[in-house]
């Protein structure tokens, strides 16, 4: 079974500071990994995804993530936080099951950005 | 292109009633998945429909069912509602090509409250 673990349910950073949200995965097959963001009262928006093409993945809004197989990690980073980044972030894994698709999500990390 | 739309956005029901939620995928997408989001259990996969066939199913009781129409629109039904069914129900669509790597695009969700 595949799973992801997000370390830290709440992360607080100052505006302009580095954002680091942690995600570790467990998978017996090559994983496909995703980061989604959820703003209050909204659905999920894809930030970026890893599908084995490149280990460093760049996404929207200045976010990027690096796939590290040796550490089974896929941490999300942004060099400089902005107030508009305050939201909940979810890491997810999708297994290689042919044409079927099922996302297994982590428990989420709420990012707070302070002045 | 219009995004994934879900109706209604908010719903209040009482225990024992049944409810039907609707999802219209992005034009051209053939796959629709449903997820339940609660504070206690997080984001959990309900089922996926592809070309009118249920392709994948999560671990939910039979009270939760769904269907997909020939135009790819999908409905989800919950019968004999329980208090624990109160949640945000999210619908996601994808093109239906390469399952695991396909991006799932989420709608804004339907907030169901069971009294």
The confidence band for A54, taking pLDDT boundaries of 50, 70 and 90, is confident
Q: Provide mean pLDDT across the span A44-55.
A: 90
Measure Cα distances from B72 to A83, B66, B77, B109 in Å.
38, 12, 16, 17
Strand B42-50 to A3-7 pairing: unpaired
> What was the pLDDT predicted at A30?
75
Which of helix, strand or coil describes residue A40? coil
Q: Which residues of A touch B55 (CB under 8 A)?
A: 99-100
Say whether pLDDT at A67 is over 90.
yes
Band of pLDDT at residue A27, cut at 50, 70 and 90: confident
Q: Which of A94, A95, A105 sits opposite B42 (nearest CB)?
A: A105
Range with the poorest average pLDDT among A22-26, B49-53, B99-103: B99-103
Span B16-26, average pLDDT: 98
* B96–A99 C-beta distance less than 8 A: yes
**Percent share of chain A, pLDDT over 90:** 76
Residue B50 in tokens: 């592809």
Cβ distance of A101 and B48 shorter than 8 Å: yes
Output the pLDDT for position A97: 60
Q: What is the pLDDT of residues B34-92, one digit of tens each?
A: 999 999 999 999 999 998 999 888 999 999 999 999 999 999 999 999 999 999 999 99
Distance CA A92, CA A20 (A): 16
Instruction: Answer whether A43 sits within 8 Å of B108, measured CB to CB.
Output: yes
pLDDT at residue number A51: 84
CB-based contacts of A69, cutoff 8 Å, min separation 6: none
Q: Which of B61, B29, B66 is nearest to B47 (CA)?
A: B66
Hey, are the CB atoms on A98 and B42 less than 8 Å from each other? no
What distances in angstroms separate CA A87 from CA A22, A30, A66, A112, B29, one per listed residue? 15, 29, 21, 7, 28
> Which residues of chain B neighbour A36 with C-beta distances below 8 Å?
106
| pLDDT tens track for A4-23 | 999 999 999 999 999 999 99
CA-based nearest residue in chain B for residue A29: B100
Shortest Cα–Cα distance, A93 to chain B (Å): 9
Closest CA to A24 of A96, A75, A78: A75
Q: What is the mean pLDDT of residues B90-112?
A: 86
Q: In the predicted model, what is the mean pLDDT of residues A53-66?
A: 93
**Dihedral over Cα of A64, B103, A109, B3: its sign:** positive
- How far apart CA B83 and CA B32 sit, in angstroms, is 26
With an 8 Å Cβ cutoff, the interface of chain A facing chain B consists of: 32, 34, 36, 41-46, 49, 51, 90, 92, 94-108
Q: What is the pLDDT of residue B85?
A: 98
A102, B48: Cβ pair inside 8 Å?
A: yes
Is the pLDDT higher at B102 or at A26?
A26
């Amino acid at each position: 079974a595949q799973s992801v673990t997000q370390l830290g349910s709440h992360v607080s950073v100052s505006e302009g500071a580095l954002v680091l949200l942690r995600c570790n995965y467990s998978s017996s097959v090559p994983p496909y990994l995703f980061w989604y963001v959820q703003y209050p009262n909204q659905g999920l928006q894809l930030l970026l995804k890893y599908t084995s093409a490149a280990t460093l993945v760049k996404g929207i809004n200045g976010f990027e993530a690096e796939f590290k197989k040796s550490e089974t990690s896929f941490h999300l980073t942004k060099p400089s936080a902005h107030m508009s980044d305050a939201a909940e972030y979810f890491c997810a894994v999708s297994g290689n099951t042919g044409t079927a698709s099922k996302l297994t999500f982590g428990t989420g990390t709420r990012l707070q950005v302070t002045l | 292109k219009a995004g994934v739309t879900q109706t209604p956005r908010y719903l209040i029901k009482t225990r024992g009633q049944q409810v039907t939620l609707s999802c219209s995928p992005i034009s051209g997408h053939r796959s629709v998945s449903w997820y339940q989001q609660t504070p206690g259990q997080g984001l959990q996969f309900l089922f996926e429909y592809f070309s009118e066939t249920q392709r994948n199913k999560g671990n939910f009781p039979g009270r939760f069912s769904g269907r997909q129409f020939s135009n790819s629109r999908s409905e989800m039904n919950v019968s004999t509602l329980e208090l624990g069914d109160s949640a945000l129900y999210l619908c996601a669509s994808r093109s239906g090509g390469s399952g695991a790597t396909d991006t799932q695009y989420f709608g804004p969700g339907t907030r169901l409250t069971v009294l």
